[in-house]
Amino acid sequence: MSEPKRVERPLSPFMIGPYYRPQMTSISSILTRITGHALVAGVMLGVWWLLAAATSDAYFETANAVATSWFGDLVFTGSLWAVWYHYLAGLRHLYFDAGHGMDIPTAEKLGWVCIIGSVVLTVITILLVQ
């Protein structure tokens, strides 16, 4: 008996490129995980700033210089976007948990709503705070 012909298939859907076309549903799921973990950077910078304020004036000057620099602005702005994205993605998942929006077109539209909505809400928040 002859051996069956083996077909070369990709090993994982994470092989983005020639084997796997990224879809909005997978991108939004990955972004939810990334934003959840990335929020730690903003929290760490904020906690460091508060601890420095409670420690000494000299230490606070250093922490304040970092927190109010372009780097601090970037971290806090990114964290603000991550909070809004994570919030909207949570609402999206509550909608899914209720048994709604499980078809692919609706799930893709909701993914775009999370991305675009989080950017719009971030800009509105920045404009309101200034």
Q: Provide the mean pLDDT of the chain.
A: 89
Q: Write down the CATH number for the domain with range 24-129.
A: 1.20.1300.10
Residue entry with tokens 């420690």 = 55
Number of Cβ within 10 Å of residue 100's Cβ equals: 11
Q: pTM for this one?
A: 0.80
What residues does each domain of the chain span? 24-129
pLDDT in tens, 100-113: 999 999 999 999 99
3-class state of residue 16 by DSSP: strand
From the list 113, 68, 65, the residue with the least C-alpha distance to 89 is 113
Token duo for residue 6: 């083996």
From the list 81, 94, 90, 88, the residue with the least C-alpha distance to 112 is 88
pLDDT in tens, 8-52: 765 665 566 666 677 888 889 889 999 988 899 999 999 999 999
Token duo for residue 54: 């409670």
